[in-house]
Chains A and B, each alone.
Chain A
Amino acid sequence: MKSVAEHEAEIIENFELFDEWTDKYQYIIELGQKLPPLDEQFKTDDRKIKGCQSSVWLNAYEKDGNVFFEADSDSTFVKGEIALLIQVLSGQSPDAIVNAQLGFIDAIGLRQHVAVTRANGLAAMIKQMKLYALGISSTTKQQQ
């Protein structure tokens, strides 16, 4: 099992192949197209993160003390972003998720294209993933 940092390093290395934003865009679109769709039963309002221009449905579950994510969006680009976040965060421990700095978003040049506009719910998505992890972590601690 790779750590958050190892996954981030891998993504940064992959993106180093691209100089131009247009190539990065197309790569993220490819990731989005490859992301398995979320089962319809999970596309409920309580799993929905509403951005200004796209909707994201995020489902989380715990297995052996780790948190797993699956998600979908009506935007393929946003699905590509989700794929990157899932690669880094899904299957990690709640603490690792809560503490993840996610510097790769800056390093691959994604932040400048999405974070400053309300169009894209990247920040809201990360926040929701961390909240899930926090929730699962506190439930687990209560059980102990």
Chain B
Amino acid sequence: MNTEVPIPAIQSQQYCAGLRADFPILNEKPYGKPLIYFDNAATSQKPAIVIEALQEYYATYNANIHRGVHFLSQKASQAFDDVRVKVQEFIHASSEREIIFTRGTTESVNLVAATYGRKNIGAGDEIIVSAMEHHSNIVPWQLLCEEKGAKLRVIEMNDAGELIIDSFKSLLNEKTKFVAIVHTSNSLGTINPVKEIIALAHERNIPVLVDGAQAVAHSKIDVQDLDCDFFAFSGHKMFGPTGVGVLYGKLNLLENMPPYQGGGEMIHSVSFEKTTFNEVPFKFEAGTPNIADVIALGTAIDYMNGIDLNSVAAFEQELLAHATEGLKKIPHVKLIGTASKKSSVVSFVIEGVNALDAGMYLDTLGIAVRTGLHCTEPVMQRFGIPGTIRASFMFYNTFTEIDQLLDGVKKAIQLLRRD
């Protein structure tokens, strides 16, 4: 639990309760029961202003951008281009040219593997990832290793689900050419010491990519302070629409990377003899971009800029503590992921109860949780379990909702566990 935030509990609770009204979906009633949405690590819900931004774009200024001479195209181009600056400020990048729009974290990682990776990784080289990576930050590197004859090395973690820094240090050697590390684990909630990892890698001039998918909605990100070389995240996990994400990269690295996909927008001039490419970031954005979702991502950033992130973070830590304490008291429940620094995620197993059965039971109560591997199969192998039940909280959740989850878990045990 993060204890360093000194905001009075009741104040942050009241503040966050007020934000609930911004999210229309929270009034939904699955099976006639009030929705309790605890699948925020999979995707966050959207405030009304984000939904309205999408509607407004399509209803009033839908047009293709950067080429049209007409009013709508210029308005859409301006709105689109403004978001690049918003993202730059949001993660404190030094230039808007360091912001590349992608489909999401997965594509951002794949882009780096396919461009920087293909150019700079060779036979016998090593790439380091961690034991708690999402499949999205494993498979692109595995594919690259297979193609190049390189090797994937894995930072170990302890039983609490914390990375072992000594394990990382022991992996670093002259063959290490890249480090790809998750900021906050989606299945365990662990917040990793990425700044320390980056500093250690940089001592040997090894670039580091940070998978920030689970971090952006819960903490202030400063890529210059982290000094990461690449930072990947998705819009939909931070109150924005699906289908849009960001890759941040240091400008000098981006400028030396080959293009990712070929097509319109990414070219400077084309002839059948020779094509010259557009400058960064457009070189990496082939085709008509996801204009509507980029614009709505900008609105999501406006929303986040308008809320008090300290109060929100403090309250989310209280939700986490409340759920953790409650689950610990229920017999047969075992928490998976008990790191000292955690995001608002509880992952657990119930001895003698299948996770899918329990998740489906909670669903009948209107409680949305995720069950299974959470796209982190190696994590489940590490803990020797077939999967977990995961409840992930956002500031718009409440203590009462968590009490209902705890009650639901107790009932699931009564119904499903055979003693």
Decide whether A and B assemble into one complex: yes
Q: B356 contacts A77, CB within 8 Å?
A: yes
Across the interface, B360 reaches (CB within 8 A) one of A20, A25, A33, namely A25
Residues from chain A with a CB closer than 8 A to the CB of B386 are 74
Q: Are B371 and A53 in contact (CB under 8 A)?
A: yes
Are B415 and A26 in contact (CB-based, < 8 A)?
A: yes
Whole-angstrom distance between the alpha carbons of A120 and B354 in the complex? 13
- B365 at interface by CB-CB < 8 Å: yes
Task: Enumerate chain B residues within 8 angstroms of A54, measured Cβ to Cβ.
Answer: 354, 356
What is the chain A residue whose CB lies nearest that of B353? Answer: A76
A2 CB → nearest B CB, Å: 29
> Across the interface, do B372 and A52 meet the contact criterion of CB distance under 8 Å?
yes
Number of interface residues of B (CB under 8 A): 18
Select from chain B the residue with minimum beta-carbon distance to A120: B356
Q: Once bound together, how far apart are the Cα atoms of A20 and B30, in whole Å? A: 11
In the complex, A52 Cα to B184 Cα: how many Å?
24
Given A21-B31, A21-B364, A53-B387, is A75 in contact with B372 using a C-beta cutoff of 8 Å?
Answer: no
How many Cβ-Cβ contacts under 8 Å join chain A to chain B?
A: 45
A20 CA / B365 CA spacing, docked (Å): 11
Most chain B CB within a 10 A radius of its CB, from A33, A53, A54, A119:
A53
Q: Tell me the smallest distance from the CB of B247 to a CB of chain A, in Å.
A: 28
Bound CA–CA A25/B31 (angstroms):
12
Instruction: Evaluate contact between A75 and B365: CB separation under 8 angstroms.
Output: no
B360→A77 contact, CB < 8 A: yes
B405 touches A (CB below 8 Å): no
A78 in complex: contacting residue of B356, B364, B373, B418, CB < 8 Å: B356
A139: CB under 8 A from chain B?
A: no
Interface readout for B351-373 with A: 1 if CB under 8 Å, 0 if not?
00011110011001100000111
Give the dominant DSSP class at B's interface: helix
The residue that A20 contacts in the complex, of B31, B415, B416, with Cβ under 8 A, is: B31
Q: How far is the CA of A113 from the CA of B355 in the complex (A)?
A: 16
> Bound complex: CA of A53 vs CA of B418, how far in Å?
20
Q: How far is the CB of B364 from chain A (nearest CB, A)?
A: 4
Contact residues in B for A78 (Cβ distance below 8 Å): 356
CB distance from A15 to the nearest CB of B (A): 15
Known contacts A29-B416, A53-B371, A53-B372; A75/B361 CB under 8 A: no
Alpha-carbon distance between A29 and B31 when the two chains are bound, in angstroms: 18
Contacts A20-B31, A22-B31, A53-B371; A74 near B364 (Cβ below 8 A): no
Taking CB atoms and an 8 Å cut-off, the chain A residues in 42-66 that contact chain B are 52-54
Closest residue of chain B to A114 (Cβ to Cβ) is B360
Per the bound structure, the CA–CA distance linking A25 and B412 in Å amounts to 12
Chain A residue numbers with a CB within 8 Å of B418 are 33
Chain A residues positioned under 8 Å from B31 (CB to CB): 20-22
Beta-carbon contact of A22 and B356 below 8 Å: no
- Shortest distance in angstroms between A136's beta carbon and chain B's nearest beta carbon? 30
Contact with A along B377-388 (1 / 0, CB 8 A): 000000000110
**Complex Cα–Cα for A21 and B372 (A):** 22
Q: Is the CB of B416 within 8 A of A76?
A: yes
Chain A residues within an 8 Å CB radius of B372: 52-53, 119
Ordered by A's residue number, 23 sampled pairs between the chains whose C-beta atoms are within 8 Å are: A20-B31, A20-B32, A20-B364, A21-B31, A22-B365, A25-B361, A25-B364, A29-B357, A29-B361, A29-B415, A53-B356, A53-B373, A53-B387, A54-B356, A74-B354, A75-B356, A75-B357, A76-B354, A76-B357, A77-B354, A77-B357, A119-B356, A119-B371
| Seed contacts A25-B361, A119-B371, A120-B356; 4 additional CB < 8 Å A-B pairs | A52-B373, A53-B387, A76-B357, A77-B360
